[in-house]
Structure 1
Amino acid sequence: MIEKLTDISSTIQKPYYYWLKKNWYYHFFVTQFYQWAVEPGSVVLQIGCKTGYILDAVKPRIGVGVEAENECRESAQQQFSCYQFVQTIPEINDQKFDYIILSSTLMETEDIQLLLLSLQRFCSSHTRIIIDGYSFLWEPLLWCAQKCGLRRQTIFKNWLSQTDIENFLYLSNFEKITNGRRMLFPWYIPGISYVLNRLLAYIPLVNRLCLIEWTIARSIAKKEIMNPTVSVIVPCRNERGTIETIVTNMPQFGQNTEIIFVEGHSTDGTLNEIERVASLYPEKNVRCFVQTGADKGDAVRLGFSMAHNDILMIFDGDNTVPMHELPLFVQALIIGKGELINGSRFVYAMETGATRFLNVWVNYCFSLGFSWLLGQSVEDTLCGTKVLLKKDYERIARNRSYFGEVDPFSDFDLLFGAAKLQLKIVDIPVHYKRRTYGSPQVRYFYHGFILLRMWFFALGKFKF
């Protein structure tokens, strides 16, 4: 039997909206986080929704709130009549939600694992569970605040570490995607609150003192994609010598595979070679487009927009990633291991001459920096092989205005967009080979500067 969330209405001296006003800065900070984490227009369920202020703040297309306290639930229904509010989880109609919010809920519930297991029936492979709670370091301070009348009287049954939450999620067939900490100071003092909560709170080690700890997870119940179809996007400029090899050696994925070359104003006859090879191998389903822009990011976006199939793959025209390893990317996606499958060139030994030693170390340093920023491990930010579902790319494209079209490579467009939507990013090591035709098109110092610029850009979007 699924238990109600603890009803402590008998201990409340003042209505909940009184505490919302009194501690407005804290609730504003929490609301801002959920507005960042939840895509507007989604289908959202909140367990322990109180007066429904968080549910309303994320602007769902369909919103459902569960609240055991009669006073809070009635207030929520009166204030936000466009959403549904119920007392217990069994009252919810069977449907799939895009997001399930558990704001401080796990601290109040009697059986955490039973609660999490009960949520599986509302989850699809794209559902995100968003959990927040208080750090156990703040227990004495919050107890004092309650005694002094600075916060609402609340009975917390559980003080959980992020490790505890990750373990409960694993036991309940969920998987952590990312987690973090926020808010060093929950009261508003002009200037001081900004420095503490927007700057110092994100410094490693210092952030362990934060009040709020959050985790985003997904269901790992097996949901394999059946009968996949794949569009392989091949951006190419001055790659005439690799075109026929790519077409003849490209594996066939699932029911249908199409190869889309996006030609970038080559001077060596690449476009003519693509047309020749396409007519020579009609069974390979080769298509070609000429980009209007100048960089790889423009080429990838054009190729994605022209793709017909369910799965999108980027494969660089230099043919330096072995094509027999590409099915590993598609397989990882269709069995649900990840939602953005990213190649990594820096695990296996590279072929002699594949890249410069300096390039390896620069990429390694940036991978550490970007992994910290994105909250997920990314070993190689610039590997030219990436795979994702077309519907996930379309979500990234719809939200591109948050970052803008500032990425000349396309890698950061996908990585930033995936991290913002809490898509699971998984690295697959590849055996990186040296070029067999042409010369590298990397301009080391210029592109190194762009990497640094992208890191600072992401710092502002993800941390500050």
Structure 2
Amino acid sequence: MSTTLPSGTIQRTVDGGRPLRRASDRFAAPLPARRATDVPPVRHSVSLVIPAHNEARNVPWVFEQIPPSIDEVLLIDGASDDATVRMAAHCLPSVRVVQQAGIGKGDALRTGFEAATCDYVVMMDADGSMWPGEIPHYVHFLDNGFDFVKGSRFIAGGGSLDLTPVRSLGNLALLTVVNRIYHATLTDLCYGFCAFRRSFLDELDPHAPGFEIEAELIAHALRLGLRIAEVPSLELPRRSGRSHLHAVSDGRRVLRTLLAERPNGRHSAAAGAGKR
């Protein structure tokens, strides 16, 4: 075990290897042994919500990567006309398939949130652009007191292999808006790999019908003053098929949502009036 020496001290070693040990060296006290009366940490259950529409070719890879610690996997099927549902059931017989009644990603996620039964809810895409192996990092932060955890491609350890210049510029512009409105310091916005405590679902109150639900959830979490953590995440290229995201039109909807959801905004004022 190395010791910390004052600045300028020459550290002598034996054969150029380990430092010489001195009689005055201090060692860290050993960790106390666990007693029979110690209460083990509480384990919280985890629901994974995956909206999907015609993702039969991507589902196998996604499901193979799901950690065994996940208690409940919900596939929200948006009227797929391929083998998405059959493939999901084949890869994971315990999967809960929930048919989406409406249309749009927001409606699909909301359907999944309402069907989830576990303590924590994780949301991710079915196209293979998000690695399920990162989920334990999200759960770790929830276990340590945070209420809402979101992935970021722009902090150390994160990144993207699929971010176009247009999407990057749009994300930066929208991120600037949300940080100024809520005096926040987030590093990513338009990335839907998130997790939260299910007990906050009613307060988060998601109602956006499309991709803008991701930004809406973050805006609501900020407005509520929830404890938010960002974890590094690597965005992968879609494994097969074409994305349903339209950068310009969806970006406009996200901007309208952020402006409407800002404090004293239209939706914010309406929500406050409903609670009084």
For the superposition of Structure 1 and Structure 2, which TM-score range results when normalised by the shorter chain? 0.7 to 0.9
**Structure 2: segments with no counterpart, 5+ residues:** 1-39, 270-276
Which one of 54, 74, 90 corresponds to residue 276 of structure 1? 90
The aligned counterpart of 2:114 is 305
What is residue 173 of structure 2 aligned with on the other side? 365
Matches within 5 A, 1:74-153: none
Give the CA deviation at 1:371: 1.3
Deviations 1:108-167 (A, max 9, x none): xxxxxxxxxxxxxxxxxxxxxxxxxxxxxxxxxxxxxxxxxxxxxxxxxxxxxxxxxxxx
Instruction: Could you tell me which runs of 5 or more consecutive residues in structure 1 were left unpaired when the two chains were aligned.
Output: 1-223, 280-284
Q: Which amino acid aligns with 2:96?
A: R
Deviations 1:319-348 (A, max 9, x none): 212222221111011112x21101112343
TM-score under structure 2 normalisation?
A: 0.75
Larger fraction in helix: 1
Structure 1 position 271, deviation (Å): 2.3
Aligned in 2, Cα 1:406/1:433: closer, same or farther, shift over 3 Å?
closer
Selected match of 2:59 from 243, 246, 251: 243
- Larger strand share, 1 or 2: 1
Partner residue of 2:140 out of 323, 326, 331: 331
Asked if structure 1 preserves the Cα contact closer than 8 Å seen for 2:103 and 2:209, the reply is no
Query: Considering only CA atoms, is the larger Rg found in Structure 1 or Structure 2?
Result: 1
Structure 2 counterpart of 1:274, which letter? A
Q: How far apart, in 2, do the equivalents of 1:355 and 1:266 lie? A: 26
Shift of 1:460: 5.8
Aligned residue-pair number: 225
Letter in 2 for 1:317: A
- C-alpha distance in 1, partners of 2:165/2:195? 27
In the other structure, the counterpart of 1:456 is 259
Instruction: Choose from 238, 244, 256 the match for 1:435.
Output: 238
- What TM-score, normalized to structure 1? 0.46
2:97 maps to 1:294 = no
SS in 2 for 1:461: coil
1:187-198 equivalences under 5 Å are none
Query: Which structure has the higher relative contact order (CA within 8 Å, separation 6+)?
Result: 2
Counterpart-to-counterpart distance in 2, 1:392 and 1:225? 22
Q: Measure, in 2, the Cα distance between the counterparts of 1:286 and 1:459.
A: 37
Instruction: Report the counterpart of residue 408 of structure 1 in structure 2.
Output: 210
Checking the alignment, whether the CA contact within 8 Å between 1:311 and 1:389 is kept in structure 2 is: yes
Q: Structure 1 residue 350 and structure 2 residue 160: aligned?
A: yes
The offset of 1:441, in angstroms, is 1.3
Question: 1:214 aligns to what?
Answer: none
Cα RMSD for the two superposed structures: 2.2
Q: How does 1:316-327 map to 2 (within 5 A)?
A: 316-327=125-136
Identical aligned residues as a percent = 22
Match of 1:265 among 71, 79, 94: 79
Q: 2:215–2:254: 8 Å Cα contact kept in structure 1?
A: no
